[in-house]
Structure 1
Amino acid sequence: MQKREIDSSFYAVQPVKNYAKWVDQTPDGFSFIVKAYQGMTGHLRGKKNYFETQEEMFKAFHTSIQPVISGGKLAMALFQYPPWFDCTRENVEILHETKEMMLDVPCALEFRNSSWYSPEFRDKTLQLMEREDWIHTVVDEPQAGSGTVPIVAVATSPETTLVRMHGRNVSGWHQNSHPDWRKLRYLYRYSTEELQEWRDRLLQLEKSSKNVYVVFNNNSGGDATDNAKELQGMLGIDDDGTAPRQLDLF
């Protein structure tokens, strides 16, 4: 199944017409991973939120993604929380409330703070996700302090697991003040040996989760496509011819 992660939805709740167009322009079997709006994950930190209440904000997001749902092309909504969202009682309650407000929409959870996977909280974090039917987002990213998380290749949903390959560019990860920080952060090409390690992890995850989605970050070096194709080859996945058309859609 071909898929696309929509990042623009993080910066603004997208108009319904945008999703309707994307659904119409993509072939059968295509699915979308829609990133939750930044106001829904606590990223704004003083920046203007155009919604007066949480209820209004979540309602707007639900409305916006309806074409994807009705078209049968929503893989999940991705809730990526910021590095300052640590493992506290207050933040656990936020996760409870968020899951309730998302109703029956499948939701993936990605942390950017290592405390969730500390020896003290790791098992409780995974149990929380399993109990509340969060899709676990397994990440590969630079190990650069508390604002990053380790590889925890565990499925919490029998239906779906998301894997996000952020690269291992430690020096570029915290270059937020650099004008081209987005280009620097994900500038990384996985080696064949690293991809072989991931092949083995994915085959294990597949035993616990029906669908395992793998997404490589686009970067200025054009590494995502080459890495994805190499990993596909290792897994024996054939290209169905959809990928070349995807490049022209967005």
Structure 2
Amino acid sequence: MISIGTSGWRYPEWRDGFYRGVPQRLWLSHLAAQMDTIEINSSFYRLQPASNYRKWVAETPPDFVFAVKGPKLITHVKRLRHIEDPLKTFTESLALGPKQGPIIWQLPPSLRFDRATIQDFLAALPQGRHALEPRHESFRTDAYFDLLHAHNVAHVVSDAPTFPCIEAVTADFAYLRLHGHDELYISSYDDEQLDEWAGKIHEWNRDTYVYFDNTMHGAAPRNALSLMARSTSATRREASPGRPPRRRDRPA
């Protein structure tokens, strides 16, 4: 299963491009008709009521998947320490049902790797798929990778010009965020770059979630659709004659 989408969907910059002629109230359903996943960003900034999640579920197809960004209260304010109460409040607010995919935890760039802190945080996470996106070079260490392996938590492979791209697959699924290779949140990926990432995804050979975060000038949806086309072509080539492509089953 390869799920490809964008990081968020509420971008006025997309109004005259991807959303041309589409009322704002239909932006999510318009995107969901063309992609099979999206990353919810608003949950990072403030606690979302369960009614919001139920609304988004109703606006998307049955097999759509939402990744959810963990709150900055946990990652940036408390810096992964003493997080039991806010973690419980956050996870209990989620009302996505079978459409819930991984929860992504984006760490602040100033947060260095500390084995005890990461170990305690991973141990506190509830059941389900979780992905961790560090933004400090100190996480490029086997001690970090070993902890993720032990808890089946995915390291987020992040492509960006301002923080390290640490390529490591640490769980039974992979998670990739493409923030813009040359200009953060801006630059578009060209054909050669998309081919390179498509090849890496194929080599990982496991369920993979991919989100384009180069949203500011509207490149994200274009790039997502281009990578989806490459993924579909690769799946068709992989299938032997007379044998259908692998099913895109959702994780249990």
Q: In 2, distance between residues paired with 1:168 and 1:140?
A: 6
In the TM superposition, what is the alpha-carbon distance from 1:234 to its structure 2 partner? 2.1
* Gaps in structure 2 of 5+ consecutive residues: 4-35, 235-252
In the TM superposition, what is the alpha-carbon distance from 1:16 to its structure 2 partner? 1.2
| 3-state SS of paired residue (1:236) | helix
In the TM superposition, what is the alpha-carbon distance from 1:85 to its structure 2 partner? 0.8
In the TM superposition, what is the alpha-carbon distance from 1:14 to its structure 2 partner? 0.8
In the TM superposition, what is the alpha-carbon distance from 1:218 to its structure 2 partner? 4.4
What's the counterpart of residue 138 of structure 1?
A: 157
What's the counterpart of residue 27 of structure 1?
A: 61
What's the counterpart of residue 85 of structure 1?
A: 111
| 3-state SS of paired residue (1:139) | strand
Q: In 1, distance between residues paired with 2:166 and 2:88?
A: 33
Alignment of 1:56-75 (within 5 A): 56-65=85-94, 67-68=95-96, 71-75=97-101
Alignment of 1:208-223 (within 5 A): 209=206, 211-223=207-219
**2:148 maps to 1:129:** yes
**2:222 maps to 1:226:** yes
Q: In 1, distance between residues paired with 2:70 and 2:185?
A: 20
Q: In 2, distance between residues paired with 1:197 and 1:157?
A: 21
Q: In 2, distance between residues paired with 1:56 and 1:44?
A: 11
Identity %: 31
- The code of the aligned residue for 1:112 comes to R
In the TM superposition, what is the alpha-carbon distance from 1:105 to its structure 2 partner? 2.8
What's the counterpart of residue 194 of structure 2?
A: 195
Alignment of 1:1-250 (within 5 A): 2-43=36-77, 54-65=83-94, 67-68=95-96, 71-88=97-114, 92-117=115-140, 121=141, 123-142=142-161, 144=162, 148-152=163-167, 154-158=168-172, 160-170=173-183, 185-206=184-205, 209=206, 211-236=207-232
Q: In 1, distance between residues paired with 2:177 and 2:106?
A: 11
Q: In 2, distance between residues paired with 1:214 and 1:8?
A: 18
* Gaps in structure 1 of 5+ consecutive residues: 46-52, 171-184, 239-250
Give the conservation status (yes or no) of the 8 Å contact 1:43–1:82: no
Q: In 2, distance between residues paired with 1:103 and 1:3?
A: 22
Give the conservation status (yes or no) of the 8 Å contact 1:169–1:186: no
**For this pair of structures, how many residues does the alignment match?**
198
In the TM superposition, what is the alpha-carbon distance from 1:112 to its structure 2 partner? 0.6
Over 3 Å counting, the alpha-carbon distance change for 1:237 and 1:26 in structure 2 is farther
Give the conservation status (yes or no) of the 8 Å contact 1:110–1:137: yes
Give the conservation status (yes or no) of the 8 Å contact 2:180–2:187: yes
- The code of the aligned residue for 2:151 comes to E
Deviations 1:37-70, CA, capped at 9 Å, x for gaps: 001112478xxxxxxx6332111101111x21xx
More displaced, 26-35 or 54-63?
Answer: 54-63
